[in-house]
Structure 1
Amino acid sequence: MLVKSADAAQPQAPRFPLSTPEFVTLIALLTALTALSIDIMLPALPKIASALGATTDNEQQLVLSVYFAGFAVGQFLFGPLSDSYGRRNPLLFGLALYTIGTVLAVTATSFAMLLFARAFQGFGAAAPRIVAIAVVRDRFAGREMARIMSFVTMVFVIVPILAPTLGEAIVQFSDWHIIFWVLLGMGLLATLWSGVRLPETFHQSDRLPFTARNIWAACAAVATTRQTAGYAVALGFSFGLLFSYIITSQQIFVDVYGLGAEFPIAFGLIAAFLAAASIINAKLVRRVGMRGVSHRAILGGLAVCGVMAAFGFPDKPPLWAFGTFMAAVFLCFGLMSANFNSLAMEPMGHIAGTASSLIGFYTTVAAAALGTIVGQSFDGSVRPLCIGISVMFAATLATVLVTERGRLMKHCDAPDVKVRAA
């Protein structure tokens, strides 16, 4: 049975052993495992595919796509588990699965075995991603949650800046298997840090029995709450443009622009604009609000795409022009994503785990599907990526307009949705 209260319940922060910097850093590590597991692989994809018998260049993208698929399925499970059994146990269980998947990847002797290991790895990585967001929602709400998530993102974006460079160094001076040993070390660090320092943040009295009826009620709450469902769909489109870039970036910078060993530098420079977006968002969100920041970012992204469209989406614009385009896209994406996620989670305080999992599941499936479509459309030029990004910005705007009933940058308090145990 669903009950909507008139006032949004603010989570009550218990006495907490972690300082804000340590809390932000740990949450960033948990959410960054997936980014690390993707970005560190990019320079190594051709060697991995060649060593394990992949037959086509585009087939190497499956190393990323199957990870996203496992990640999506895992999110669907770990959210309800964390609403029923608390945050810690599902988190530690998922990290254990991630570790096992990483060991399987290290020992893979065929491309099919590696794909299985990557899917397993992605399944386990869903737990830290889902639980981390639920823990933040347990302790914060509204603009304060958006501000904390901006700080998390600031730490998080160090990963896409440094990971490709680390991956390139490993490929140049050692064996690609070392990449998975690095991932194994990060997984063990996350497990030990969480196990020793992170307390339980979800009170026993708020937990829902793990029953089909309660899970269905929570799913219905997510799907029928206009703000949550609408911004989840918008988040899917916005992550779709990110995944499209990640999946095709190695081929674009190496095959189209011939950067070779300089690819990680270009990738990192563009990713740095995510950090800039996080800093800007943390400063603006308290004053302008989540809608004010994110809605302006959508319009900015469309304007940038309009410039590219005015030149007819060229096959190979100058590297500086393409880099500037992607930097602007990343800046707008960074201003959208943290706020979209916070807006979607705002009414979901009492089912934060399930809501986070459903939002994450949809977002990952949608983004992986969109990214795969764009990736498989790669034809030796940047045109498919630029057109795909433009379409996804337009779809994001349309979704937000429907969600906000045709009005942008309008504040509206969302009631907290509660699910009573059946």
Structure 2
Amino acid sequence: MHGPLPSPEQPTSAHREIHHFEFIALMAALMALQALAIDAMLPALGDIASALGVSDPNRRQLVVGIFLVCSGLGSLFPGSLADRYGRRPVLLVCLGGYVALSLACAVVMQFDALLGLRAVQALASAGLSVLPSAIIRDRFGGDRMARMLSTVSIVFMLVPMIAPTMGQAVLLVAGWRWIFVVLGALASLVGLWVWLRLPETLHPDYRQPIEVGPILRNMGASLRDRGSIGYVFGSALVMGAMFGYINSAQQLVGEHFGAGPRFPLLFGATALMLAIANLVNSRIVERFGARRVSHTAVLIYIVVAGFQVLLSHLPGQTLYSFMPMMAMNIALLGFIGANFGSIALQPFARIAGAAASVQAFVRMVIGAGLGIVIGQAYDDSARPLSWALLLCGLTCLALVLFSERGRLFRRLTPPGGSRPVAQP
């Protein structure tokens, strides 16, 4: 499907002209803003701590951790609002909040105030990580949806590769405050893009009332489906392990393993592995099915994490033994994340916004909370992170087995299926 994407609500002629590749790029840009708000901060954490008088080295991680947790909390609301009022207006409000609060962070004078503004920014902009999935679900179903999500994730996952380098580049010519100014400027450009080019994708017949009862029922329905829920919680766990790495990466890789100025490049290299994995996944998922691909990836993830635990307990572990294994496990997330998200969202065509919201809430709150715990457990070694990767992988497998009633590698949708699936 490479032609124009028509809107179910008869948009203006300007909106009607958006094409397949522009649609992918726009969805990726929306999701990338959240990744930029996280990863562009990493090289600046030390400077922020020094400028705002933070002495505890682990406390600086909260600039990232608080944002992640509040993104999860905020994700409960935009999906239901978008199911009522449409995707476009909610996206534009989220982008406006992102811009305003980025600029507020740029002028803050106290560390606690910065954490508070980061929390509000995450709450206000949470729709940027929720609504792209709902918009894609409006258009696609089955393994075709998994392929689209994976394709979007390729671009999205390239952001962590460049974000720390962008942050480092800003630090070379200006102070850390200008990182927030740059984020606000980028969000303004994406907002203009949405305003000019994105059609409304919510079908008029699928609009939901803004009433507590229907919203709670819709959200509850997305958490009661056995075939979906194991994938939601499973992805939350592996995401939490990755967030644990992100929170502690500057200390672990940059300081403990002595990467120093090479840290942004090494961090970016792991993100490149993730992007490549998503590219491969987008090519194979329609052929083999989201379940087969993701189940295989989880099993390999557990094996790699086991090796990481072993290496972390050997004396004299170096950067060159840690980074290849970490990059491999992050790459495996490229075969897990988009496929798990597609499987979990598949049954909810009529309530895609509410389902995407509550699933993102579970993934982000559990994942971000777990990431903070893992990051705060940092002890000048890779052992806490390695054990977290292994335990999260094993628990994820158990949850998938629950959803699949003990059977892995089943394929429940036909190859290339894009027919919307009715609400159960």
TM-score grouping bracket, smaller chain normalisation: over 0.9
Percent identity over the alignment is 37
C-alpha distance 347-160 of structure 1, shift in aligned 2 (>3 A): same
Q: For 1:181-200, what aligned pairs fall within 5 Å after superposition?
A: 181-200=181-200
| Alpha-carbon distance in 1 for matches of 2:27, 2:311 | 42
Please state how far the C-alpha of 1:345 moved relative to its aligned partner.
0.6
Task: State whether residues 277 and 332 of structure 2, in contact with CA within 8 Å, keep that contact through their aligned partners in structure 1.
Answer: yes
Please state how far the C-alpha of 1:124 moved relative to its aligned partner.
2.2
1:418 aligns to 2:420 (yes or no):
no
SS of the residue 1:349 aligns to: coil
Please state how far the C-alpha of 1:311 moved relative to its aligned partner.
4.3
Question: In the alignment, what sits opposite 1:245?
Answer: 245
| Alpha-carbon distance in 1 for matches of 2:338, 2:140 | 14
C-alpha distance 315-102 of structure 1, shift in aligned 2 (>3 A): farther
| Alpha-carbon distance in 2 for matches of 1:315, 1:41 | 32
Question: In the alignment, what sits opposite 1:350?
Answer: 350
| Alpha-carbon distance in 2 for matches of 1:236, 1:246 | 15
- Aligned amino acid, residue 248 of structure 1: S
Q: Deviations over 1:171-222 (max 9, x none)?
A: 2332111100110011101111011100110022210110011111101211
Q: Which runs of 5+ in 1 are unaligned?
A: 1-10
SS of the residue 2:350 aligns to: helix
Question: In the alignment, what sits opposite 1:68?
Answer: 68
Question: In the alignment, what sits opposite 1:159?
Answer: 159
1:318 aligns to 2:323 (yes or no):
no
Q: Which moved more, 1:357-366 or 1:408-417?
A: 408-417
| Alpha-carbon distance in 2 for matches of 1:253, 1:376 | 15
Q: Which runs of 5+ in 2 are unaligned?
A: 11-15, 415-419
Question: In the alignment, what sits opposite 1:233?
Answer: 233
Please state how far the C-alpha of 1:413 moved relative to its aligned partner.
5.0
Question: In the alignment, what sits opposite 1:295?
Answer: 295
Aligned residues: 409
Task: State whether residues 70 and 365 of structure 2, in contact with CA within 8 Å, keep that contact through their aligned partners in structure 1.
Answer: no
SS of the residue 1:28 aligns to: helix
Question: In the alignment, what sits opposite 1:176?
Answer: 176
Please state how far the C-alpha of 1:378 moved relative to its aligned partner.
0.3
- Aligned amino acid, residue 258 of structure 2: G
Task: State whether residues 315 and 381 of structure 1, in contact with CA within 8 Å, keep that contact through their aligned partners in structure 2.
Answer: no
Question: In the alignment, what sits opposite 2:368?
Answer: 368
C-alpha distance 261-400 of structure 1, shift in aligned 2 (>3 A): same
Task: State whether residues 105 and 180 of structure 2, in contact with CA within 8 Å, keep that contact through their aligned partners in structure 1.
Answer: yes
| Alpha-carbon distance in 2 for matches of 1:185, 1:144 | 34
Q: Which moved more, 1:139-148 or 1:409-418?
A: 409-418
Q: For 1:118-137, what aligned pairs fall within 5 Å after superposition?
A: 118-137=118-137
Question: In the alignment, what sits opposite 1:380?
Answer: 380
C-alpha distance 407-19 of structure 1, shift in aligned 2 (>3 A): same
Please state how far the C-alpha of 1:346 moved relative to its aligned partner.
0.4
Please state how far the C-alpha of 1:110 moved relative to its aligned partner.
0.6
| Alpha-carbon distance in 2 for matches of 1:177, 1:237 | 33
Question: In the alignment, what sits opposite 2:275?
Answer: 275
SS of the residue 1:407 aligns to: coil
Question: In the alignment, what sits opposite 1:5?
Answer: none
Q: Which moved more, 1:77-86 or 1:410-419?
A: 410-419
| Alpha-carbon distance in 2 for matches of 1:150, 1:418 | 23
Q: Which moved more, 1:329-338 or 1:302-311?
A: 302-311
C-alpha distance 18-385 of structure 1, shift in aligned 2 (>3 A): same
Task: State whether residues 34 and 128 of structure 2, in contact with CA within 8 Å, keep that contact through their aligned partners in structure 1.
Answer: no
| Alpha-carbon distance in 1 for matches of 2:99, 2:7 | 31
Please state how far the C-alpha of 1:17 moved relative to its aligned partner.
2.5
The root-mean-square deviation of aligned C-alpha atoms, in Å, is 1.8
SS of the residue 2:201 aligns to: coil
SS of the residue 1:215 aligns to: helix
Question: In the alignment, what sits opposite 1:206?
Answer: 206
| Alpha-carbon distance in 2 for matches of 1:315, 1:128 | 43
Please state how far the C-alpha of 1:316 moved relative to its aligned partner.
5.1
Please state how far the C-alpha of 1:417 moved relative to its aligned partner.
5.4
Task: State whether residues 142 and 346 of structure 1, in contact with CA within 8 Å, keep that contact through their aligned partners in structure 2.
Answer: yes
TM-score (norm 2): 0.93
Q: Deviations over 1:351-388 (max 9, x none)?
A: 01110110111100111111111101001111111111
| Alpha-carbon distance in 2 for matches of 1:396, 1:195 | 39
Please state how far the C-alpha of 1:135 moved relative to its aligned partner.
0.5
Please state how far the C-alpha of 1:121 moved relative to its aligned partner.
1.3
Please state how far the C-alpha of 1:69 moved relative to its aligned partner.
2.4
Task: State whether residues 312 and 381 of structure 2, in contact with CA within 8 Å, keep that contact through their aligned partners in structure 1.
Answer: no
Question: In the alignment, what sits opposite 2:95?
Answer: 95
Question: In the alignment, what sits opposite 1:223?
Answer: 223
| Alpha-carbon distance in 1 for matches of 2:97, 2:73 | 13
- Aligned amino acid, residue 423 of structure 2: K
| Alpha-carbon distance in 1 for matches of 2:142, 2:192 | 30
Please state how far the C-alpha of 1:157 moved relative to its aligned partner.
1.6
Please state how far the C-alpha of 1:65 moved relative to its aligned partner.
1.5
C-alpha distance 315-224 of structure 1, shift in aligned 2 (>3 A): farther
| Alpha-carbon distance in 2 for matches of 1:165, 1:356 | 31
Q: Deviations over 1:232-264 (max 9, x none)?
A: 111101211110111010001122111211110
Question: In the alignment, what sits opposite 2:399?
Answer: 399
| Alpha-carbon distance in 1 for matches of 2:356, 2:312 | 39
Q: Deviations over 1:368-415 (max 9, x none)?
A: 111111101001111111111111111111110111111111123599
Q: Deviations over 1:86-112 (max 9, x none)?
A: 111111111111112111101101111
Question: In the alignment, what sits opposite 2:24?
Answer: 24
| Alpha-carbon distance in 2 for matches of 1:166, 1:140 | 34
Please state how far the C-alpha of 1:338 moved relative to its aligned partner.
0.5
Question: In the alignment, what sits opposite 1:3?
Answer: none
Task: State whether residues 241 and 374 of structure 2, in contact with CA within 8 Å, keep that contact through their aligned partners in structure 1.
Answer: no
| Alpha-carbon distance in 2 for matches of 1:375, 1:407 | 34
